[in-house]
Structures are given as structure tokens and as C-alpha cells.
Chains A and B, each alone.
Chain A
């Protein structure tokens, strides 16, 4: 019960300061984050994050599963964008296998991960605005998120834990009406972003709460391992989708929004602009969607179609072999990084040539971004700490894994 010892961390010998415990049950910590604040009046002198309350040992569990059985585990890491995690894992294993993926599967992956980026940013926007005190934005954001969850349900049968990507392609062909539903959403979405911006971007109270709060410089952000919109808001023009393209992102045209101030406001602006850019990528993916297969031609790795199993002996044998013994992956190690809504999501997969991964490590963006929180909050007011937590957009499932 070490987590519960009264004060393992902060020294209280000074007479001016006191220690305030914030979390792990606190509405604005977005999960089970515990912060120890050393405060001087209302000013934070030092902040120490205490994490691990949600640790489930996913990395250890992965080592006991076949490669294809790890996909559903990756959903649980970052539950706001499960398909981004699926994508990172399957890309890493495909790199280990040296596998080529058919273009339709690649474009579907881009389309779905961008939709996930939108839905993840919507949750961030709604909850962040609510922390600041703008209640109604939350309702608008969750209205659109509901549409997106319906789209995921259409394609995978699940609203949150989708597990839709497979090593070698996708689980199944998207159903009839899927593209129409996505198109309907993509058509209407820019107006909806205007709606959020009408509520927030010009809002005097919102601006006053966000501007010049929880600043972090470019140098500090890089040194502390900050990635994603939080890094771009500090003036580093770096986006893995554009700079180190993976999964066919080189075929898409989009802007990478940046800002220079490095405060909560800059991070807000960057993310809202990203909503618009993701919508553009979705539109391009819809318009250019290739036809063809959604699975690679690799019978030893990819499960056969149901129809084939009823007529072909080989398909039945491969199905049986994959399900009962898995498939072997050549020995080696791979670090695959992708741009998740929160930053650089990296999967380090080590194979020893058997059917189970020897090591799966997730470099989760929230984990590294959280390290910057203490720096951001030094000298800030307690109320500003709430704004800062919201602005780095952490997901505790991904931090604790």
C-alpha cells in the first residue's frame, strides 16, 4: 500500500509551504492521477505526480499471448483512440514480418485513425472546457463523438474496444452504408468545429484562463520528451505523419498546425486546428479509397475468409494452425512510432522467433508528456494546474498500462 503512505515524496520541513494532495479521485485529473502539490498560499512551489494506480501489467500479459492475441490488449492502453494503438502494434509486427499490406487496407487504416484522432480530441475539448468552466461545450463534443462511436460500431461491432486492425490488414470488409455514414459526418463536421470555436475561441473568460498559463519553452519541451500537439504548441514543427510517414500518410495533403507561445492557449489552438486537418485527411481518404482486398496474401499469418474455409481444405488447415499455434515471427527487434492524438506512440517489439512476442514495450505519449507537467505548474496557481492537466491531454490508461 505504498501509494497510500501519507507523504513519501515532498519534504515539509519548510515553514512557509504546505502539501496538498490532489487526486487520485479528482474530477479534473482525467483518471487516477495523484499529484502532490507543495504550495505557498495559492502558488505551487513544486509538483510531484504519483502514478501507477491503473497498472494492469499489459506488457507482461503480451508476452504470454500469440502475436494476433495482443491486438485486443492494445485497445485497453489508450481507450480514447484504440485503433491508433492497434495500428502501431500491427505496423510493428508487419515490419518484423516484412509484410506488404494492400492499398485498401492502408487507406481504411488512415481513415479510421483520423476519425479516432477527431473523437479523441473531442473528448479532450469537452472535458478541458468543462474543467475551465464551460459546461455546454462538453455536450456538443459528445454529440459528434456519438456519431463517431456509431461509425466504429458499424465497422467493428464495438463502440470503444474496436480491435479492428489485424496483422496483415483489417478484420473484415466495412459494411454497406459505412462510407455514406462517414461522408455524412465529414461533410457536417467543419460547421461543428465552428460551433465549438464560437463558444470558446472568442470567449473572454476562456481566453483569460488559458493565455500565459502553464508555459513551457521549446527547449524544455524537447528535453522533457514532450511530443504531439503539446510540442507543436511550443514551436517545434514536428509531426510523424508528415516527417516520418508510415501507413501511406505520404499520399495525403494536410497542414501541421503549430504555435509559438507554449501556453495552454497555444495547445488549445493547435488541437482545434488539428480537428480541421484530420477532417481533410478523412475526406481525401474517402475520395481516394482504392478497391481490392483488405487482407494481405499471407495464408500463414492472415486468417482465411469464412467462405474459403467451407470449400478449401488448405484454408481450414491454416485457420486451425493460426488459431491453435499462432504464427512465428523472424527474430529481431523493431521500434515503430506513429503520431497518436497525444504525440509519439511507439511500440518496441522484440521477437525471438517463436509465436509469442518476447517483449512488447509501449512508449506512450501521455507518460512522457506528464513529466512536463511539474515544469509547467511551477509558480502557477492551483486553479491553473487544472488548466495545465487538461492541456496536456493525458490518458491514465496509457500512462499506467
Chain B
């Protein structure tokens, strides 16, 4: 299969505008980076995610939040990986910021105050994965009924549902 192996060394990636900007701001916030199939992912420590996204917005490094989503790697711990897909319209470049969350304490700061577009996406993650977003203006179930029990997109939730 003709693709290069993933680059996971931060030093090789520091020419990238997003990586350079984040390193110049707070290198302690970066937990790792990966360039795989031409897609750049940067792992951010949980406490810094809102600040990192605020920084990238204020410095105009990225100017659009496309998507926020999550994946459940159960039974691995930390099981959740929240992914923020940011876009720079001027540089025509995407970047993915990722945060790992444990199953015991799936709480993260909301980025809705920074990017209002995250509102529905975070509600969806809250609904389907059970991750709580601190500082979200209106964190309620969005897809499932209000009185639904469980979070359907978790891997320990059966595809057929509980019967």
C-alpha cells in the first residue's frame, strides 16, 4: 500500500504552522503529534484544550472549526479520544487536535465559548458517549430521548441495544 509511515516525532513536524504556533505558546500543552496519510494530529493535554483552541483562533492560525467528535477505544485506558477538526481557510490546511480521556472521569472543557459551532457537536458527544463538557451553555441530550439510559456509541453498549 503506497503511503509513507506515520511521523510521530515532534521535532520533524515543528515547521508546520500549527505545531510551531502551539510550541511557541506553551510546549507543555502538547502531548504528542502524528502525521499520518497527510493528516496532522496533535495530542493536547486535557486541561489545555480550550486555551489551545483559543490561542489558535486569536493568532488566526486556524479560522474555522469543522467538526468535534469522539472515538471510544474500550477496553483500552484512557478509552476516549475527542477529536477537533480545525481548518485554516487562508492556508487551506486542516489540523486535528486530540484529547485522551479516561473512562472514570470523562470531563473536558467545552470550546463552545470560543467556537459557537461546537455547541451541537459537543451535545452530540455528551449524548452518545457520556462525556461532560464544562462550561457548555446548554448540555442536554440532542439525539436520544431525554430519559434514555446509557450512551449508545460507547463500545460496551450493544449494537442491538439492551433488551
Residues of chain A whose beta carbon lies under 8 Å from any beta carbon of chain B: 1-3, 5, 8, 51-52, 55, 57, 59-61, 63-64, 95-100, 222-225, 227, 236, 238, 243-244, 330, 332-335, 337, 344, 346, 348, 350, 358-359, 361, 363, 367-368, 370-371, 400-401
CA distance A389 to B82 in the complex (A): 31
Give the bracket for the number of chain B residues in contact with chain A.
35 or more
Q: Is the CB of B67 within 8 A of A51?
A: no
Chain B residues with Cβ under 8 A from A5's Cβ? Answer: 146
Known: A96-B37, A98-B37, A335-B67. A2 touches B83 (CB 8 A): no
Q: Is the CB of A367 within 8 A of B85?
A: no
Interface residue stretch chosen among B9-17, B19-27, B45-53, B113-121: B113-121
Chain A residues with Cβ under 8 A from B94's Cβ? Answer: 244, 335, 337
Chain A residues with Cβ under 8 A from B44's Cβ? Answer: none
Residue of B whose beta carbon sits closest to that of A5: B146
A333's partner among B1, B36, B63, B116 (CB-CB below 8 A) is B36
Chain B residues with Cβ under 8 A from A55's Cβ? Answer: 143-144
Interface residues of B in 140-155 (CB under 8 A from A): 140-148, 152-153
Nearest chain B CB to A98 CB, angstrom units: 4
How many Cβ-Cβ contacts under 8 Å join chain A to chain B? Answer: 114
Interface residues of B in 62-81 (CB under 8 A from A): 63-67, 69, 71-73
Chain A residues with Cβ under 8 A from B115's Cβ? Answer: 223, 225
Q: Is the CB of B37 within 8 A of A358?
A: no
Chain A residues with Cβ under 8 A from B2's Cβ? Answer: 98, 100
Residue of B whose beta carbon sits closest to that of A54: B143
Chain A residues with Cβ under 8 A from B92's Cβ? Answer: 243-244
CA distance A60 to B156 in the complex (A): 12
Q: Is the CB of A1 within 8 A of B85?
A: no
> Is B132 interfacial (CB 8 A cutoff)?
no
Chain B residues with Cβ under 8 A from A358's Cβ? Answer: 71, 73
Chain A residues with Cβ under 8 A from B72's Cβ? Answer: 359
CA distance A244 to B90 in the complex (A): 11
> Is B58 interfacial (CB 8 A cutoff)?
no
> Is B31 interfacial (CB 8 A cutoff)?
no
Q: Is the CB of A337 within 8 A of B142?
A: no
Nearest chain A CB to B93 CB, angstrom units: 9
B1's partner among A97, A238, A335, A371 (CB-CB below 8 A) is A97
The 6 A-B residue pairs whose C-beta atoms are closest, nearest first, are A2-B146, A225-B117, A363-B67, A98-B3, A98-B1, A359-B71
Residue of B whose beta carbon sits closest to that of A222: B64
CA distance A100 to B126 in the complex (A): 38
CA distance A57 to B72 in the complex (A): 16
Q: Is the CB of B71 within 8 A of A370?
A: no
Q: Is the CB of B117 within 8 A of A3?
A: no
CA distance A222 to B90 in the complex (A): 13
Residue of A whose beta carbon sits closest to that of B152: A60
CA distance A346 to B144 in the complex (A): 22
Chain B contact residues: over half helix, strand or loop, or mixed? loop
Q: Is the CB of B37 within 8 A of A224?
A: no
Chain A residues with Cβ under 8 A from B134's Cβ? Answer: none
Chain B residues with Cβ under 8 A from A400's Cβ? Answer: 143
B37's partner among A60, A223, A332, A361 (CB-CB below 8 A) is A332
CA distance A110 to B83 in the complex (A): 29
Residue of B3, B119, B143 with most chain A CB atoms under a 10 A cut-off:
B143
Q: Is the CB of A348 within 8 A of B85?
A: yes
B145's partner among A3, A96, A337 (CB-CB below 8 A) is A3
Chain B residues with Cβ under 8 A from A370's Cβ? Answer: 120
Nearest chain B CB to A157 CB, angstrom units: 29
Q: Is the CB of B144 within 8 A of A368?
A: no
Residue of A243, A333, A344 with most chain B CB atoms under a 10 A cut-off:
A333
Q: Beyond the given A225-B115, A371-B117, please list 16 additional residue pairs across the A-B interface where CB-CB is below 8 A.
A: A2-B148, A51-B143, A52-B143, A52-B144, A52-B145, A64-B159, A238-B89, A335-B85, A335-B96, A344-B66, A350-B71, A359-B71, A361-B69, A363-B66, A363-B69, A367-B121
A346's partner among B6, B67, B143 (CB-CB below 8 A) is B67
Chain A residues with Cβ under 8 A from B85's Cβ? Answer: 335, 346, 348, 363
Residue of B63, B67, B94, B148 with most chain A CB atoms under a 10 A cut-off:
B67
B65's partner among A95, A225, A334 (CB-CB below 8 A) is A225
Chain B residues with Cβ under 8 A from A52's Cβ? Answer: 141-145
Known: A64-B159, A98-B3. A335 touches B39 (CB 8 A): yes
> Is B41 interfacial (CB 8 A cutoff)?
yes
Nearest chain A CB to B87 CB, angstrom units: 8
Known: A224-B116, A346-B85, A368-B120. A332 touches B141 (CB 8 A): no
CA distance A155 to B73 in the complex (A): 39
Q: Is the CB of A57 within 8 A of B152?
A: yes
Interface residues of B in 103-126 (CB under 8 A from A): 115-121
CA distance A5 to B55 in the complex (A): 40
Q: Is the CB of A330 within 8 A of B69?
A: no
